[in-house]
Every structure is written in C-alpha cells, then in structure tokens.
C-alpha cells in the first residue's frame, strides 16, 4: 500500500517527504483554506515536494463548472489529479475528463455502491472515507473493506485510496485488507513512528554507548 499525505501545509509535506515515504498528496478545499497564498502556486509547490499524484479538488457541484475547473487544475502540473465529489454531476464530469485523459479522484465516497459508480465513470482513484463514517456510528473500516472487495473483483482500472484516516490503526487495517493507498494527516504519520519500547530501547543503546566511550577515555 502506498502512503500519501493529506495536507496542503507545505512545511508538513516537506517534513514527511524528507522521510522518504511519500508517494503522493491529497488536498481539499478546507485544507487549502488554511494556507496563505495563491491556490495554483500552492499546488505547484506541493508538486515540487512530492513526485507523485497530487489531488486538487473542484469547488462546485455543477457538471460544466467541474469540467472547467478540472481543466484549469490539470493544467497546473502533470501530477495533478482532479478531485471530484460523488454525485450525479460528479459522475458526468468525471466521465468527460477521463475521456480526455485527465485523472480523477472521486471523493466523499462512503459505500461500495458509490465506489462502483465512480470506477465505472472513469475515476482513476476512489476515496472511501473511514473516520467520517465512524463519526456517525458506523464502521468505516468495514465500509472500506466492502469497497476494496467490490473493486478487486471489478473490471475497472481504479485504485482505492483510503481517506479520512484518524489513527495508525486505520492505516494498518487499510493495508491488511488490500487498499492501494492510504492518505494520512501529518499528525498520524508521527503517531505511526512512535512506540514506547522504541524510545526506551534507543535510550538504553545510547546510554550503553556513552558508558563505553567513558570507560575507554578513562584508560
């Protein structure tokens, strides 16, 4: 499973990218709204930090406007993937852009049935939301599993991009069930790296190494 970062914060993206683990980036209008500067410049900077798909989302619910915005976003950089919401107009816009060779990530997908429609319309990526499904008392992990299973047996060339990731457990479960990608907030990346036994082990190794250097210096 490939790891993307879900962020528009250039510092966050640069930090996680420096670990050598990132294969792509996802953004949304809420994340972009937190960042100062021209939207297109933000996307260009992100594309310069990570050599992989960068999802940039439309900000309209109308088919023709989605297509127009999709053309504008795709022209920013070859790595841009146009992010379109799951809806009838979204399906139509996705089909139109896909016919032109523009990659689409269909977002706000919560069920396997929605994912199948997205794939059939030509979406290159489909983004089931895990955490937001949990928020309404359902199991986001189980919904993600249904989507993975449904698309695994379909004839469509589409990647399942697990979104709305809230914890390292979500990441691990997505990987175990066969999701192609997980897009992860910077906070969760840092949580994935931490374990108390790792911290204690490193502390012990450093203490033993320092003690050895002290003994050698005393000779």
Catalytic residue annotation:
83
The phi-psi region of residue 58 (left if phi > 0; otherwise alpha if psi is between -120 and 50; otherwise beta) is: beta
Tokens 């939207």 belong to: 39
Tokens 């992010």 belong to: 83
Secondary structure (H, E, C), 28-78 = CHHHHHCCCCCHHHHHHHHHHHCCCCEEEECCCCCHHHHHHHHHHHHCCCC
* Helices (H), ranges, 50-195: 63-74, 88-99, 112-121, 131-135, 140-152, 168-177, 186-193
Percentages (nearest 5) of helix, strand, coil residues in the chain: 55, 15, 30
**Rounded Cα distance, 81 and 105, in Å:** 6
């Amino acid at each position: 499973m490939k790891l993307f970062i879900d962020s528009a914060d250039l510092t966050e993206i640069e930090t996680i990218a420096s670990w050598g683990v990132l294969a792509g980036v996802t953004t949304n209008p809420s994340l972009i709204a937190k960042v100062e500067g021209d939207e297109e410049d933000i996307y260009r900077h992100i594309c310069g930090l990570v050599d992989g798909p960068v999802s940039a989302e439309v900000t309209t619910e109308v088919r023709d406007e989605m297509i127009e915005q999709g053309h504008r976003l795709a022209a920013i950089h070859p790595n841009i993937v146009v992010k379109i919401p799951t809806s009838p107009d979204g399906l139509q816009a996705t089909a139109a852009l896909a016919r032109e060779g523009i990659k689409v990530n269909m977002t706000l997908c919560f069920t396997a049935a929605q994912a199948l429609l997205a794939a059939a319309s030509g979406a290159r990526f489909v983004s089931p939301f895990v955490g937001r499904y949990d928020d309404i008392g359902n199991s986001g992990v189980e919904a993600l599993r249904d989507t993975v299973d449904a698309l695994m047996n379909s004839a469509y060339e589409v990647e399942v991009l697990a979104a709305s990731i809230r914890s390292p457990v979500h990441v691990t479960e997505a990987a175990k069930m066969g999701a192609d990608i997980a897009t992860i907030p910077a906070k969760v990346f840092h949580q994935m790296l931490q374990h108390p036994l790792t911290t204690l082990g490193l502390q012990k190794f450093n203490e033993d190494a320092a003690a050895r250097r002290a003994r050698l210096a005393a000779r």
